[in-house]
Amino acid sequence: MKRRISIGLAVVLLAAVVVTIIIQSGGDDGPAQPQVATVHGVGGSEKAAFFADERVVRAFAGHGLKVEFDSAGSRQIATTVDLSRYDFAFPSSTPAAQKIQQDKKITTVYTPFFSPMAVATFAPIVDLLTAQGIVRNGPGNYQVLDIAKYLELTGKATRWDQLPNNTAYPARKNVLITTTDPRNSNSAAMYLSAASFVANGNNVVSTPEAEAKVLPEMTKLFLDQGYTQNSSEGPFEDYLAAGMGKSPLVMIYESQYVDREVRGDGSIQPTMRLLYPSPTVLSKHTLIPLKGAGDQVGRLLSTDPELVKLAAQFGFRTSDPKVFTQLVADHKLAVPTDLVDVVEPPSYETLERMLDAIGKQYR
Amino acid sequence: MKRLIAGIAAIALVLTGCSSEDTPAESKAEPGKLRILAGSELADLKPILDQAAQATGVRVEFTFTGTLEGSETLASGKADGKYDAVWFSSNRYPQAIPDAARRLGNQVKIMNSPVVLGLAKSKAEALGWAGKPVTWSDIAKAAEAGKFSYGMTDPSASNSGFSALVGVASALAGTGSAISAAQVGAVTPELKKFFAAQAMSAGSSGWLSDAYQRRATGQDPGQKIDGLINYESVLLTLNASGSLPEPLSLIYPSDGVVTADYPLTLLTSASEAARNDHQKLTDYLRVPDVQRDIMSRTHRRPAIPNVGLTPEFGGQTLVELPFPATQDAFDALLSAYFDQIRRPSRTVYVVDTSGSMEGDRIDGLRSALSGLTGASNDLVGRFRRFHGREEVTFIPFNTTPSQPISFTIPQTGQQAELDRIKSTVESLSAGGGTAIYDSLNRAYDLLASEPDSGRFTSIVLMTDGENNNGTDLAGFQQALAGRSARLKGVPIFPILFGEGSQDEMNTLARVTGGKAFDARNSDLQHVFQEIRGYQ
């Protein structure tokens, strides 16, 4: 089976099951079929392609496992999805994972992969924002987008055509990072985590007072965009296919970009650039074993060399940094192996309250 | 190519003719078949979908509808179990309606087409717009000065009109963010300038481009217009058809466009089999070769990277305007458009009250007409009622036409006048013969007695039988030939009903540049609402 996933997170709107990708075992590799146990998991759609990949299927089969993976949004997994049907849950963020852990009273979890949030953009935009002091060189060989400086612009609702000496992109629309819909998508929640940290004077938002203080500014970041898509694949695809005019700055998971680069299918054009927000937030894909062989899946993803290598191929950073470093070297990727300016997201409750408050403004 | 256009037009006609609400037989769910509620412009994908069916074993069964109607069907739950997927030019509108949004599942974008302005080449050159960056404000200024005219679809009926309205409003508001309900009032004066140049409205993109072509070539008596606001794909298709006296120059406003992205969207109520079929079909449609095929056949842009654009698309960077995300903003814009912004309508209803209308028919007519006074207040009905500033006349007829009864809806405080219309139409009663053509002549005489007000003027004819009193069709046509150019350009929208003559109704539509609607197998109210899109 080739990688053919284009899961829209609208899926995410679905409380219960969404897309079941039935993993066919790799085919006819031997007459004596070993005993294979089916394991059911549910998690973010950005991992569906990984579980559907035939090399991944084979690796699990080698351990006597067949994983059936359903896609659902992290917020849904933590709230509305009936987890009794599953052996493991695999949300894309720590806050959602913490909520499930609390609800199910589970202490052992696995964090086999993670991805920093990143901003996909284009060279002329980088030049323009560098001149504004919004983009600068990071501590390593990568560039960062300074969220504090960026919020100064968005606070004044600055349009692109109001930036001085802007001949590259004189669009009559606000300088805004394109995100997904905050009402149902995890990547928007991750963006909110980083932006609210800065808006709160470089502190994780943790009190109702702080929430109230940052919410008006945070709400604008989403509402001013107007219509947003509900899957992280949507805006990234627009970025790849429609280019700078439509989406000059797009909030994505680093893994989405790296995955495309590793594929080497030409979709990453020479003018495309990847920036890291400063600070950024890590989307930590956290596997929570619920029952049965769920635990074994978590362990294998963290320790099986083949599976770890495959995860890196899909652009995920794994707990052994050497694997990603090797991938970066092999494919000459322009991504940092180490990120320094990383902050923690707020607690599940705080994040949910802020997302709900923003969602209520869509009237 | 010419055949393709004619084909599209024919399909669109058939589809709007037998209204979409009444699919003849309930189609059952079955593996290998996707029942899709879709925008009518997707009819041009037929060859692609035929190949897809061969390659994937998944057959598509379309039911066509407009964006608002489709969203309403979704929100009401009527799509659950009846369709497996929806495929509109964008999900922006249903996404803003919570009851529709929660029914949208996995969405996969298939192709793109921005809404832009196409102007006859010589006109674009005369305006100095060829090969130069032009903004929506430039366009609004020229529109206000009467330097060109254009046709656009009704924003409550068709997505291209809806996108254009929202895009133009966002661009003219100049705030750089998605327009909110509160900002609509401020941008209304600018929008009025822009829409002063709109000379034609239509309920569907297909009919609009067909009518443009017929007027450009003189097949249609209506006033020639200089251009169209429509999908880039529709404009390029018209150019490729070779049937225009001169090609359209496409103007891509430098301050931004609104792009349709055609997400093929599974419904959350769909079965597991439909899910698999949806996956198979969308995988196939996004293969690079198929994307290329879609691009060359339908003139829409690919949805995936790595499929290079052909030269016809021009090399411009298209800025995407922010699009509102709330129903409040949409409602405010649409209401302002109909009640304040667009040129108002002048509408004459010539309605049959002969003896054969006795019973259910006259009841149906009464409730259909009173539906247009706001009695039908659903998502669609709200924007298909009589609008502020509109002048409405009823000429009920039997053996002879009755005295015309006229109303003018004020811009604000409309209820009293709407109530008067309601009580008038509810008092219609049946009896006597059928003098169709004397009554139509009466309508033209009435319009002839009025000064040219620059309104969208049209006549709706509803009859359930053959003409058996007064002059006949030939007599009517003879009289029409002697009328002024302005009156010759007034279209008739005949409604086929009961035992009315299909041939004569079609002839009336053809010779006046109108369009016939079929209410024999569908709800009369729905047909009256649909006609509103052309007025």
Does residue B367 form part of some domain? yes
The reported pLDDT for the residue numbered A33 is 54
Q: Say what the pLDDT of residue B275 is.
A: 84
**End position of a domain, from candidates B237, B259, B281:** B259
Q: Which chain A residues are within 8 Å of B174, Cβ to Cβ?
A: 172
Is A7 in Cβ contact with B112 (below 8 Å)? no
Pick among A156, A160, A172 to test the B interface (most B CBs inside 10 A): A172
Nearest to A245 among B108, B109, B317 (CB): B317
Please work out, in degrees rounded to the nearest 5, the angle formed at the alpha carbon of residue A289 by the alpha carbons of A285 and A293. Answer: 120
Question: What pLDDT is recorded for position A34?
Answer: 59
A259 in Cβ contact with B305 (< 8 Å): no
CATH number for the domain harbouring residue B173:
3.40.190.10
* Segment 139-198 of chain A within 8 Å of chain B by CB: 157-160, 169, 171-174, 176
Top-confidence residue, B237 or A81: B237
Question: Is B384 domain-assigned?
Answer: yes
Average model confidence (pLDDT) for chain A?
88
Task: For residues B50 and B119, state if they share a domain.
Answer: no
Could you tell me if B281 and B252 lie in one domain? no
Domain contains B412: yes
Do residues B300 and B442 share a domain?
Answer: no
Q: How far is A161 from chain B (nearest CA, A)?
A: 10
Residue B312 resides in a domain: no
* pLDDT at site B27: 85
Q: Is A7 on the interface with B (CB under 8 A)?
A: yes
Residue B384 has pLDDT above 60, yes or no: yes
pLDDT of res. B130: 87
Statement: residue A31 has pLDDT above 60 = no
Q: What does the alpha-carbon distance between residue B137 and residue B139 come to, in Å, rounded to a whole number? A: 5
Q: What is the distance between the alpha carbons of residues A158 and A166, in angstroms, rounded to a whole number? A: 13
| Domain end among B225, B259, B293 | B259
Total structural domains within chain B: 3
pLDDT for the residue numbered A14: 35
Same domain, residue pair B442 and B492: yes
Q: What does the alpha-carbon distance between residue A226 and residue A223 come to, in Å, rounded to a whole number? A: 5
Residue A240 touches chain B, beta carbons under 8 Å: yes
Of B176, B279, B286, the CB nearest to A173: B176
Domains in chain A, CATH or no CATH each: 10-114+283-330 (3.40.190.10), 116-281+340-360 (3.40.190.10)
How many Å lie between the alpha carbon of A160 and the closest alpha carbon of chain B?
A: 9
Comparing CB atoms, the residue among A226, A240, A269 nearest residue B322 is A226
* Domain residue limits at B14: 2-112+262-307
Q: Are residues B478 and B510 in the same domain?
A: yes
Instruction: Evaluate if residue B204 carries a pLDDT over 90.
Output: no
Looking at the structure, do residues B107 and B23 belong to the same domain, yes or no? Answer: yes
Pairwise CA distance, residues A71 & A89, whole Å: 10
- Whether B339 is in a domain gets the answer no
Average of per-residue pLDDT across A61-80: 86
Residue B323 domain-assigned (yes or no): no
Assess whether B424 and B447 both reside in one domain: yes
Residue B19: the pLDDT is 38
Pairing label, strands B263-267, B104-109? antiparallel
Mean pLDDT of B278-289: 95
Task: Answer yes or no: is B332 within a domain.
Answer: no
For residues B389 and B66, which has the higher predicted lDDT (pLDDT)?
Answer: B389
* Pair (B466, B390) in one structural domain: yes
Identify the DSSP state of A81: S
**Cis, peptide link before residue B114, omega less than 30° from 0:** no
Percent of chain B with pLDDT over 90: 77
The residue among A162 and A16 whose pLDDT is bigger is A162
- Of A66-70, A212-216, B417-421, the range with the lowest mean pLDDT is A66-70
pLDDT at residue A12 tops 70? no
Task: With CB atoms and an 8 Å threshold, state whether B177 touches A173.
Answer: yes
Please compute the mean of the pLDDT values over residues B417-429 and round it to a whole number.
96
Contact B326 A173 (CB under 8 A): no
Q: Kindly state whether residues B389 and B446 are assigned to the same domain.
A: yes
Percent of chain A with pLDDT over 70: 91
Together in a domain, B234 and B365: no
Q: What is the pTM of this model?
A: 0.86
Quote the CA–CA distance of A249 and B506 in Å, as a whole number. 53
Query: In chain B, which residues have their Cβ closer than 8 Å to the Cβ of A160?
Result: 176
> In this complex, which of A10, A19, A243 lies closest to B275 when CB atoms are compared?
A19
| Interchain proximity A173–B322, CB inside 8 Å | yes
At B382 the pLDDT is 85
Q: How far apart are CA B200 and CA A110, in angstroms?
A: 63
Average pLDDT in chain B: 91
Mutate to test the interface with A, among B320, B326, B327, B333 (most CBs of A within 10 A): B320
Of the three residues B228, B259, B290, the one that is the final residue of a domain is B259
Burial track B149-180 (b if 16+ CB lie within 10 A, e otherwise): bbbbbbbbbbbbbbbbbbbbbbbbbbbbbbbb
Where residue B519 sits, what CATH number does that domain have? 3.40.50.410
Residues B232, B107: contact at Cβ < 8 Å?
Answer: no
Q: Are residues B11 and B84 in the same domain?
A: yes
- Tell me if B325 is assigned to some domain: no
Chain A residues near residue B92 by CB distance under 8 angstroms? 227
Tens of pLDDT, residue by residue over B176-194, are 899 999 999 999 999 999 9
CA–CA distance, B187 with B190 (Å, rounded to integer): 5
Give rounded-to-5 percent helix, strand, coil for chain B. 45, 20, 35
CB contact under 8 A, B317 and A228: no
Cross-chain CB nearest to A227 (options B95, B272, B302): B95
Compute the average pLDDT of residues B153-174.
90
Residue of A nearest to B99 (CA): A13
- Quick check: B473 and B512 in contact, CB under 8 A? no
B122 and B84 together in one domain:
no
